[in-house]
Amino acid sequence: MSLSEKFLNKSLRELLEEHPEVVIPTVYVHERTKLSDVVSLLLSSEVELVVVTDNQGRPRGIIADHDILRLVEPGRRALFSLSSMRRRHFRYHPDLSAADVMERNPPTLHYSDRVRDLLDVITHHRVNYVIVVDDVGRPVGVVSSRHVTRGVLSRLREPEEASY
């Protein structure tokens, strides 16, 4: 079996353990978390994605930085006002929560699924992020299409194993 086939047949659990570089920095928040707190998390750290969870800790949605940018698109009803661009101070609508702006029903895979399943979800559903969950449906990590693509391409460039 070639290295690329071995890589594609790895479980997602193995992928996360052996290749932590494919896991993106993620924060988990409850669906009732205030939008202002979510934005603070995105601004104050190296977080690329916020996973929104229910009371049992299961993923219900995701919020990426581009979701926040869409809130200020011209022609959309303003969900918050820019009081000073120079100070970059945003005043958010007080009633907005993570659930109000999240992308619902994010793609998830069980950690026993294979890397080839992950690639199938990414390519056929055209998504950037896939949440990997455990036996009770709680997230154990999030992988991005960009990080997985790099991993796959690096495996394809490796020389094939010698067969003895």
* Domain residue extents for the chain: 3-157
What pLDDT digit, counting tens, does each position of 30-82 carry? 999 998 899 888 887 788 899 999 999 999 999 988 887 777 655 555 454 43
Is the pLDDT reported for residue 11 higher than 60?
A: yes
* Alpha carbon separation from 25 to 17, 30, 87, 108, 129 (Å, rounded): 15, 17, 27, 17, 12
Check residue 138 and give its pLDDT.
Answer: 97
What pLDDT digit, counting tens, does each position of 104-135 carry? 999 999 999 999 999 999 999 999 999 999 99
pTM comes to 0.80
Q: At what angle do helices 115-125 and 145-157 cross, to 10 degrees?
A: 130
Check residue 62 and give its pLDDT.
Answer: 97
- CATH class of domain segment(s) 3-157: alpha beta
The tokens of 23 are what?
A: 């896991």
